[in-house]
Amino acid sequence: MRLTPVALILALLASGGSARAQTPPVRAASGPAITDLDPALAFLAPYGLQNFSAHYIAALQALLGARQQYWAGEYGKAQATLDALWARYPVGSTRWGLLPTQPFGINLGSPPCYYALRMLSDMTAWRVANPGQPSAPRTARLTVLVVGATHGIEPRDATELAAGTGIPVTHALDPRVPVDDYRAVHQSLRLFHEYVLAMTEGRLGVETHILPLPDVDLPVRASLSGGTRFAGLTDPMQVFAHVPEAEREATDWWWILYPSHTPEQYPDFTTAEFITGGMGSGPDSWSPYFISDDRWVVRKAPHLGSGEYSDIERGVYLPQWFQHEFFHHLFRTYPEFELETTPHQWFDRSTWPPDFVGRYEPDYYHEALVKRLQGATPSLNVALRYATAGAPWAALTVNDLLGTYHHVPVENAWHIGDIRFVGSQLKWRNTAPVSWNLFDDLLEGQLLTGPDCPYFGQPLGNAFQIVLERDALGDLTTEVRGFAFGGGLYERQ
C-alpha cells in the first residue's frame, strides 16, 4: 500500500523512526523515497521527522507546495493549498508562536514559514481575483551594488569590540555570492518581487539589475552601542560615488551588498548577533536602499541558525527580510498613517491601530497594506518609482521652481522656506531665518548650493534635487512636486 504524505508522517512519528543525513532516504513499505515524494519531508528527514510537530511539517509542506503551484500558474490550486493550512492553523493563532524557531540550526523565519505563507496568500488571492492579468505596465529597477572589498579594524573579543580596537583587515567579496550568475541573490528576491506585484495590484513589477563594483574598497567598522553590536560600512553613501550617472538615473531601488566585517570566527562572537544592514535612503535622499553584508545570502547569521543556507531556507527567509525592510520604507513614505511613529512600533501589540486584528509582524504588514496603503494617495505604483532617466528637465525654467516649500514633516523653522530671486540672485530663505544662494543646474535636475549654505560639502548638502510629479503610471511629468535635500523631501505648497 502506498502511504500518503500525511500517513507517512504519522507512521514515522508513531514508530519513533529517525532519518539522519548519513543514512539512505527513508521509504514507506513498497512506497517511494521521501526525497521523491515531498520536498518538505526530504528537507526535514535528515534531522529526524519525529523531531518536528505536525504543525511545523504542515506549514513547510503547504508553503513549498503552494509556491510550486504558484510558479506553475496554478493559482487556484495554490490558494486551496493555503486555505487548507489556514483552516487547520488559523492566521494569528497563538499556536504559530509556539513553533521552534531554529531547530537543528534551520532558519525558516519566526514563526517558521509564517511570513512567506502570508506573502504567498496575498499573492494568490490577487492572482485568483484577477485572472488573465497582463504584465505590469511599468517596472521598478532594483540595482544590486556588489562591493568588491572592505577594510577596517577587526575586534577579536568582546573587550576589543567595546574599546573599538583590534587588528587591521581587508575583506574580499565572498566567492559564493557570484556563483551561477548570482543565483543566491536572485533566489533571495524571487518571492519578494512577486509580492510587490500583488501589493501594487498588478501595476508595478520589479526587475533585478546586478552591478558589480570589483575595484571599490570601502571602510567598515565594528562597534558596540547600548548593548547592540554593529559591523558594517562606515558610510554607505560612499558607494554611490562609484555608480555611473546613467545607472543612478535608471534605478528606483537599491541593494548594497558588501564584504562582511562580522568577526564570527572568534570565540566571543560565534553565536553573537551583529547588525550589518537594514534600510536607508539612496543618492536622491528618498529612494530606498536595502543594505546587507555578503554572508547574509549564503550562510545563516549566528543568531539565526547555523551552516550555509539551503535553497529552501534562502527562498523562505530572505523574502521575509526584504518585506520587513521594505515596510520601513513604506511607512516613512506615508507618514500620515502613523504606522511607525516609533521604530518597530508593531513589536508592541498595544500600539497597533484599533482596526488591526492580527498578532504577528506579517499580520501588521498585511493589514497595513489592505487597510491603508492600497488606498493611499499617491498610489503605491506611483510612490515607489524614483528613477529619473528620461526626465523632462529641459522643459523646466527657474521660474517654475519659485514658491514656498515645506519639509515632510515640518519639525522646525528650517523646514519651511521659499525659493525666490533677491535682485538677480536665486536664493533659499527659511523661517529660521537663514538663507543661501542657489545656482541653476536644471539640465541635471538640480539647483546647486554654494559655500554660504550651512550644509555645503556634507553628504546630500550640495544641491536641491528637483522632484517631479508623476502620472497615474508613475511616469514623470513637468510639474514640480518639490525637492530633496539633506535626506528629506520638501514639497511645494
Q: SS3 sequence, 383-395?
A: HCCCCCCCCCHHH
Segment 191-219 shows an average pLDDT of 98
Residue 335 pLDDT: 92
- Expressed in percent and rounded to 5, the helix, strand and coil fractions of the chain are 40, 25, 35
Residue 405 lies in a domain: yes
Residue 223 pLDDT: 98
Cβ contacts of residue 100 below 8 Å, gap of 6+?
Answer: 56, 112
Given 348, 383, 418, the domain boundary residue is 383
What is the total count of domains within the chain? Answer: 3
Residue 264 lies in a domain: yes
How far lies 450's CA from each of 158, 241, 402, 454, 457, in Å?
45, 20, 18, 9, 9
Residue 120 lies in a domain: yes
SS3 192: helix
Given 76, 104, 129, the domain boundary residue is 129
Report yes or no: 467 and 481 within 8 Å, Cβ to Cβ. Answer: yes
Q: Let me know whether 173 and 313 are in one domain.
A: yes
Q: Let me know whether 210 and 295 are in one domain.
A: yes
Given 129, 155, 174, the domain boundary residue is 129
Residue 365 lies in a domain: no
Q: What is the largest CA-CA distance in the chain?
A: 93
**What is the number of alpha carbons within 13 Å of residue 174 lying toward its C-beta?**
20
Spatial distance between the Cα atoms of 368 and 156, rounded to a whole number of angstroms: 43
**DSSP annotation string for 250-319:** H-SEEEEEE-----TTSGGGTT--EE--EEEE-TTSSSEEEEEEGGGGTB--TTT-SSBPPHHHHHHHHH
Q: Residue 17 pLDDT more than 80?
A: no
Q: What's the pLDDT tens digit per position in 410-437?
A: 999 999 999 999 999 999 999 999 999 9
CB atoms within 10 A of CB 224: 16
Spatial distance between the Cα atoms of 328 and 428, rounded to a whole number of angstroms: 31
Phi and psi based region of residue 169 (left: phi greater than 0; alpha: psi -120 to 50; beta: remaining): beta
Q: Let me know whether 53 and 174 are in one domain.
A: no
Segment 366-378 shows an average pLDDT of 97
What CATH number corresponds to the domain at position 159? 3.40.390
Residue 230 lies in a domain: yes
Cell numbers standing for residue 366 = 498585511
Cell numbers standing for residue 452 = 554660504
Residue 37 pLDDT: 60
Residue 480 pLDDT: 96
Segment 463-487 shows an average pLDDT of 94
Cβ contacts of residue 492 below 8 Å, gap of 6+?
Answer: 403, 404, 405, 480, 481, 482
Comparing CA positions, the residue from 184, 150, 203, 158 lying closest to residue 308 is: 184
Amino acid at 472: A
Give the chain's mean pLDDT.
Answer: 92
Q: pTM score > 0.75 for this model?
A: yes
Report yes or no: 473 and 383 within 8 Å, Cβ to Cβ. Answer: no
Q: Let me know whether 262 and 157 are in one domain.
A: yes
Segment 285-295 shows an average pLDDT of 95
Spatial distance between the Cα atoms of 328 and 278, rounded to a whole number of angstroms: 9
Cβ contacts of residue 222 below 8 Å, gap of 6+?
Answer: 152, 153, 154, 155, 161, 166, 229, 230, 231, 261, 262, 263, 274
Q: Let me know whether 302 and 405 are in one domain.
A: no
Q: What's the pLDDT tens digit per position in 391-403?
A: 999 999 999 999 9
Report yes or no: 445 and 466 within 8 Å, Cβ to Cβ. Answer: yes
Q: Let me know whether 44 and 165 are in one domain.
A: no
How far lies 88's CA from each of 65, 96, 97, 178, in Å?
16, 11, 15, 41
Q: What's the pLDDT tens digit per position in 27-59?
A: 333 333 444 569 999 999 999 999 999 999 999
Q: Which residues of 317-328 are buried (b: 16+ CB within 10 A; e: fewer)?
A: bbbbbbbbbbbb
Q: Let me know whether 232 and 377 are in one domain.
A: yes
Domain interval for residue 19:
5-129
